[in-house]
């Protein structure tokens, strides 16, 4: 089992978990092609009891090689960022996005089988963006800006611009990630604060600041110079010679 770091340090799961997700969706598609089966009926079928099973199965099912490929790279990149920057809550966030995006699709989706990892990808995009902005940590803010640069165009996928695309799944995933980005608060260790940033900081108690006077002069240096400028004092000790001592 991997020992997880305290903050922003690489561990094996950062690569192994995303690689496992990618391998899983490719293996499922390979089984469909190899054995001639169709897993699409295991996708989300909105407003039907049987369609609820798609909440758990649909992210790992893809309708074509192109569909699979377009989800592979974003899944790997975004899940890697999730497990590196938010390792304390990564698994919870990942599974909650799967569940919430699936349920959201089941509630608002058209009467069709909704499949693919796209909803989860949209959830990861929105979570990483909003959580990074709220965390007020310079690394996470930089990550949010990078997410916007790489995947900002995905926002158009939440609109009904293509009837062949499950925009409902995209929208449900985006909303799910946004909600989680605001729900998870204490998930990243705050950067260490300097002593003068503490709320109870008192300048008079600071050993360093006590070396300066009210005008900003370095007291120790001034005292040393004064000691050097003073003339040296020589003390003589007189001791009488003992008359009984042998010569």
* 138 domain residue, yes or no: yes
**In terms of domains, do 108 and 203 share one?**
no
Domain count, the chain: 2
H-run or E-run covering 151: helix 138-151
Q: Which residues contact 150 (CB under 8 A, 6 or more apart)?
A: 77
Q: Structure tokens of 79?
A: 């899940």
Rounded CA separation 214/216 (Å): 6
Q: Please, what are the averages of pLDDT over each run of 10 residues along the chain (247 residues)?
A: 61 96 98 96 96 96 96 97 94 97 96 96 96 87 91 91 92 97 72 59 64 64 50 64 52
Q: What percent of the chain has pLDDT over 90?
A: 62
* 107 domain residue, yes or no: yes
pLDDT (tens digit per residue) in 156-213: 999 998 888 999 999 999 999 999 999 987 555 555 555 655 666 666 666 666 666 6
Q: Which structural domain range is residue 158 located in?
A: 13-183
Tell me how far the alpha carbon of residue 114 is from its chain's centroid: 29
**In terms of domains, do 76 and 146 share one?**
yes
Rounded CA separation 119/106 (Å): 12
Rounded CA separation 162/209 (Å): 66
**In terms of domains, do 172 and 224 share one?**
no
**In terms of domains, do 205 and 159 share one?**
no
Rounded CA separation 229/1 (Å): 67
**In terms of domains, do 60 and 161 share one?**
yes
């Amino acid at each position: 089992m991997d020992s997880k770091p305290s903050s922003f340090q690489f561990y094996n799961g950062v690569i192994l978990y995303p690689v496992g997700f990618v391998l899983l969706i490719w293996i499922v598609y390979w089984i469909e092609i190899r054995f001639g089966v169709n897993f699409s009926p295991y996708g989300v079928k909105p407003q039907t009891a049987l369609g609820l099973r798609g909440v758990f199965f649909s992210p790992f099912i893809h309708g074509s090689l192109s569909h699979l490929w377009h989800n592979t790279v974003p899944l790997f990149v975004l899940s890697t960022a999730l497990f590196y920057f938010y390792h304390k809550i990564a698994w919870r966030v990942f599974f909650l996005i799967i569940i919430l995006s699936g349920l959201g699709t089941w509630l608002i989706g058209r009467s069709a089988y909704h499949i693919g990892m796209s909803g989860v990808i949209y959830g990861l995009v929105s979570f990483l963006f909003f959580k990074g902005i709220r965390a007020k940590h310079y690394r996470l803010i930089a990550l949010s800006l990078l997410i916007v640069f790489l995947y900002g165009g995905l926002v158009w996928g939440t609109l009904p611009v293509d009837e062949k695309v499950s925009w409902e799944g995209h929208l449900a995933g985006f909303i799910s990630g946004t909600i989680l980005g605001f729900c998870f608060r204490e998930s990243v260790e705050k950067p260490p604060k300097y002593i003068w940033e503490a709320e109870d900081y008192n300048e008079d108690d600071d050993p360093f600041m006590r070396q300066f006077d009210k005008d900003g002069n370095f007291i120790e240096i001034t005292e040393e110079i004064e000691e050097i400028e003073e003339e040296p004092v020589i003390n003589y000790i007189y001791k009488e010679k003992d008359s009984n001592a042998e010569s």
